[in-house]
């Protein structure tokens, strides 16, 4: 078999793989949005849920989704980015740092329900937070930490070493070089990693079932972090499995479509500026 034939076969294979993936995604979007979009209206998006009567909304659940996401990133970003910077810049290459890296990678593959059970035992029971937004956010931040650490470390290592050397040669301290050179240069990769983490957090349900609960506050919006905080993804699971409202299927379809739209918009709002910034930093190439 000649090299040209091999190249054509490989090209055809990769094109076919790409087309199949696009078709699967298109079918996925068509099914969810096709069933759920007719259910979406202003009352459904902003209204309060109903336990018995038909016609309830998902306003508190949508608010809680973003509130829990904001708090989880508030906890995980400083620690995750700081740990990534430490491993990339300060940590010496030895057996201890190798163990730390292996442990971080192992934690990133742990099922989310394990984190949920851990959060239930630690924050809900032992610390007495009960089912609360703050307990769910802290547990969710533990799920995000391994990914943030690895993304930060790899993003900083991808910056050319000449940037670091030039900054130190000009008399800057390590902290100044990190703050003014390495972090800005690695910002597009960091934003991409944060986007992936945030998108995963928006769709997470197993952790929040055990930590944030299956109910919402009587007040809307409720910024009290100690109140119960059912999110949109948890509500979707609840109405599909335990709800007794007569329009449970319609609520589930609408919730699934709304969750998908929210994740898509969230990724676009962060992803597009990230691409523009990356293009700007690369000199428009």
| Domain segments of the chain as ranges | 58-281
Write down the pLDDT at residue 211: 92
Between CA 72 and CA 168 the distance in angstroms is 34
Write down the pLDDT at residue 203: 84
Write down the pLDDT at residue 263: 85
- When computed from its CA atoms, the radius of gyration of the chain, rounded to whole angstroms, is 23
Between CA 236 and CA 251 the distance in angstroms is 8
Write down the pLDDT at residue 1: 61
Write down the pLDDT at residue 251: 87
Write down the pLDDT at residue 51: 76
Dmax over Cα atoms in the chain, in whole Å? 71
Phi, psi for residue 183 in degrees, rounded to 5: -65, -45
Between CA 148 and CA 141 the distance in angstroms is 10
Cis peptide before 224 (omega within 30 of 0): no
> What class does CATH assign to 58-281?
mainly alpha
Write down the pLDDT at residue 71: 93
List, run by run, the mean pLDDT of 10-residue segments along the chain (285 residues).
Answer: 78 92 91 88 86 82 92 92 89 83 84 90 89 92 90 87 83 85 84 84 87 84 87 87 80 89 82 67 54
Write down the pLDDT at residue 39: 86
């Amino acid at each position: 078999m000649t090299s040209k034939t091999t190249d054509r076969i490989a090209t055809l294979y990769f094109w076919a793989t790409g087309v199949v993936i696009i078709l699967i995604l298109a079918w996925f979007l068509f099914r969810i949005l096709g069933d759920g979009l007719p259910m979406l209206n202003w009352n459904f998006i902003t209204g309060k849920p109903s336990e018995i009567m038909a016609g309830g909304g998902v306003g508190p659940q949508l608010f809680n989704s973003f509130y829990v996401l904001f708090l989880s990133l508030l906890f995980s970003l400083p620690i995750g980015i700081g740990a990534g910077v430490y491993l990339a810049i300060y940590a010496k290459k030895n057996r201890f740092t190798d163990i730390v890296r292996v442990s971080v990678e192992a934690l990133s593959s742990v099922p989310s329900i394990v984190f949920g059970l851990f959060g239930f035992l630690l924050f809900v029971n032992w610390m007495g937070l009960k089912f609360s937004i703050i307990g769910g956010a802290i547990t969710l931040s533990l799920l995000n930490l391994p990914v943030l650490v690895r993304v930060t470390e790899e993003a900083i290592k991808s910056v050319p070493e000449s940037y670091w050397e030039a900054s130190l040669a000009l008399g800057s301290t390590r902290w100044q070089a990190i703050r003014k050179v390495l972090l800005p240069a690695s910002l597009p990769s960091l934003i991409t990693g944060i986007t992936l983490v945030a998108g995963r957090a928006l769709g997470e349900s197993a952790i929040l079932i055990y930590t944030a609960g299956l109910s919402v506050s009587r007040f809307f919006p409720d910024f009290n972090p100690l109140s119960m905080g059912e999110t949109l993804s948890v509500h979707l699971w609840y109405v599909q499995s335990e709800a007794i409202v007569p329009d449970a299927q319609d609520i589930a379809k609408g919730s699934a479509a709304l969750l998908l739209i929210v994740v898509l918009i969230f990724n676009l709002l962060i992803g597009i500026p990230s691409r523009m910034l990356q293009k700007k930093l690369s000199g428009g190439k």
